[in-house]
């Protein structure tokens, strides 16, 4: 494990609260949450349903604005009043990679194009995008499935292609939402090993929301959320 607490955190959440609705219908999804994730760390976010895990992921992923508190991603303070919707979109594109529970690959694009589209959106040319996509698919050991459409991929293969997509723009922050929930123990272990490899080799910060008991021992740090509050950290 390569935990470098001396370096600047890639994700810094300080005193973040998020509530929905007002008055009697008000729901406090997050209450005064603070956490940091450093380069090379694979961090787990655990908690029962409705505890605020996905809301916290949405806030860190620049999808939902916090009601209060400060968020810093790779040194940029987000939601300080100067960020437009298009700036947040660009930030997501360039600095954050997303991994989903059900891979969320675009069904009408083959594996290569599913990865290349992220590079395309960031402005890379078609040939460069394809070359980088194939390189990533080979790195994740699914190079032989580069021309296959998502419907023809197994769960493990699809999740690896999804990880390749998340890594395409060399993001330093990777947010994973239940990345192993749809996989069996063996494939879940392979995916976690891959994430570990990415974190170490690319000095990325990985924050994964999970319910999956079989992978809790694979995290460097684990945060527990309950009723929107962060419980004391266990290592």
Give the one residue of 12, 41, 51, 58 binding another protein; rule: CB under 8 A.
58
User: What three-state secondary structure class fits 192?
Assistant: helix
Count of residues that interact with another protein, criterion CB under 8 A: 35
Q: Is 13 an interacting residue with respect to another protein (CB under 8 A)?
A: no
Cβ neighbourhood burial of 214 (10 Å; 0-12, 13-18, 19+): middle
Backbone angles phi, psi at 159, to 5 degrees: -70, -35
Question: Which helix (H) or strand (E) covers residue 46, if one does?
Answer: strand 42-46
Nearer to another protein by C-beta: 90 or 224? 90
Give the one residue of 31, 67, 83, 93 binding another protein; rule: CB under 8 A.
93
91 Cβ neighbours under 8 A, 6+ residues apart: 62, 73, 76, 78, 83
Choices 18-26, 36-44, 50-58, 184-192 (CB under 8 A): range interacting with another protein: 50-58
Q: Are 230 and 224 in contact (CB under 8 A)?
A: yes
Question: Of 171, 155, 72, which is closest to residue 118 (Cα–Cα)?
Answer: 171
Give the one residue of 157, 177, 212, 220 binding another protein; rule: CB under 8 A.
177
Choices 17-25, 70-78, 94-102, 194-202 (CB under 8 A): range interacting with another protein: 94-102
Residues binding another protein (CB under 8 A):
54, 57-58, 61, 63-64, 86, 89-90, 92-94, 98, 100-102, 104, 106-109, 113, 116-118, 120-122, 126, 129, 149, 165, 177-178, 181
């Amino acid at each position: 494990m390569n935990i470098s607490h001396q370096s600047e955190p890639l994700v810094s959440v300080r005193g973040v609260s998020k509530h929905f609705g007002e008055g009697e219908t008000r729901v406090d999804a997050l209450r005064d949450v603070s956490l940091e994730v450093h380069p090379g760390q694979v961090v787990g976010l655990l908690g029962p349903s409705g505890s605020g895990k996905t809301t916290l992921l949405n806030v860190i992923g620049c999808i939902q604005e916090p009601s209060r508190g400060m968020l810093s991603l790779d040194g940029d303070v987000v939601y300080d009043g100067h960020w437009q919707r298009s700036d947040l979109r660009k930030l997501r594109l360039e600095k954050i990679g997303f991994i989903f529970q059900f891979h969320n690959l675009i069904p009408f694009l083959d594996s290569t194009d599913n990865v290349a589209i992220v590079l395309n959106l960031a402005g890379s040319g078609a040939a460069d995008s394809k070359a980088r996509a194939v390189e990533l698919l080979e790195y994740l050991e699914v190079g032989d499935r580069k021309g296959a459409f998502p419907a023809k991929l197994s769960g493990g293969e699809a999740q690896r292609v999804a990880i390749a997509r998340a890594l395409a723009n060399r993001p330093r922050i990777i947010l994973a939402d239940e990345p192993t929930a749809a996989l069996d123990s063996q494939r879940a272990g392979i995916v976690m090993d891959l994430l570990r490899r990415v974190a170490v080799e690319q000095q990325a910060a990985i924050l994964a929301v999970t319910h999956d008991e079989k992978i809790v021992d694979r995290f460097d740090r684990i945060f527990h959320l309950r009723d929107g509050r962060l419980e004391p950290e266990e290592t």
